[in-house]
Amino acid sequence: MEEGLIRNLPDLNEACAALVSGGVAALDTEFVWRATYRPHLAIIQMAGADGVCRALDCQLGTDVAPLAAVMRDETVVKILHDAHQDIDLISHFTDAPPVNIFDTQLAAGFCGHPANLGLQKLLFEVLDVGLAKTETCTDWSQRPLTDAQVRYALDDVRYLVQLREALLAQCASFGTREWLEEDLLKYEDPENYGEMDPDDAWKRVKGSAHKLRPRGLAGLRAVASVRERRAREWNLPRAWLGDDASLVDLAWRVQHGETAFPNVRFRNRLKNKAQRDHIAADYAEALADAASLSDEECPDPIQPDYPREVLDAADKALDYIRARGEELHVDPGVFANRAQVTAFVDDPETPDNPLAEGWRFETVGRTIIERFYVP
């Protein structure tokens, strides 16, 4: 089988059969995201145990059933770097849920490397392989793709099988492989993929949203839900219907006691006047509804107001985690982030806190309760 683009079903069948035969499928994607709600998937790169690298041209309408079967096959390890977005795109494209995922970026954090390393740097550190970055500005939706573009794309999967083996060997030597395998299971949780509930969209708004109080958060929840629903309906990027800063500004108006919103103004990129008028009216109605809610119906603050003693204890707990991580060859960020550590120090029974269960509890969580918990 030759390397290159897959443009028909027989070639895809042959490529996927090789992946299944070898038990591993190194995967990556190239996409374009300009004027649509979701990224436009251009190609899916794949490589197997035989070392042959291929790329499926996603713009040809080829039946993707063979690739969907690979994605569903529990005996085939799907190897990706920084897996979440690629898995989301491939799963949506193939309508196949992810199973048996191996993320080389996550694995790096369990064997002495930073858990946020890009593929290029990780390959150099682990395998002494240098990747050329000559096509970083490529428009992957344009056809035909040049041989240089295809080679560049295939390099992103060419070494993933070998990289996985090297990282697993390092994890085994440090005694962290079981912890890694425990974390890898989280990639199979369907809640990590697909469309979010529009009523939860406010939780992803960035900027100064964390400064809002419950009344303002009710306004933010309302307008973020409108933006999510309309962006999905009109197949437009969320930011085109109002950037995050605009949504927070609108939410502040609710927090400051406004109850009528006849002249909503916000930053948007909509060229269609009817859509601009429509979304403005939607926002005004949503804000008015939020202003009428009772205190009990408003969301809790994103970031609680912790007392100084809890914040000081969290700082000490973070220092402990950093020291413990160095001892165990685990990147400190893999254990938990600052918000999770602070919540744990304040209340070890905080729901869904990673420090409260599994290998994290056994290695650091139990000691944090003994040393740093502020009752």
| Helix-, strand-, coil-residue percentages of the chain, each rounded to 5 | 55, 10, 35
Contacts of 367 (CB under 8 A, 6+ apart): 320
CA distance 355 to 368: 9
Residue 200 a catalytic site member: no
Contacts of 375 (CB under 8 A, 6+ apart): none
Is the CB of residue 69 less than 8 Å from the CB of residue 15? no
Residue 50 a catalytic site member: no
Of the residues 86, 183, 243, 331, only one is catalytic, namely: 86
Q: Which of 83, 129, 116 is nearest to 102 (CA)?
A: 83
Of the residues 11, 30, 155, 244, only one is catalytic, namely: 30
CA distance 285 to 277: 12
Of the residues 57, 103, 155, 156, only one is catalytic, namely: 156
Is the CB of residue 90 less than 8 Å from the CB of residue 38? no
Residue 88 a catalytic site member: no
Residue 86 a catalytic site member: yes
Residue 28 a catalytic site member: yes
Tokens of 368: 């944090």
Of the residues 11, 57, 73, 152, only one is catalytic, namely: 152
User: Which active-site residues does the annotation give?
Assistant: 28, 30, 86, 152, 156
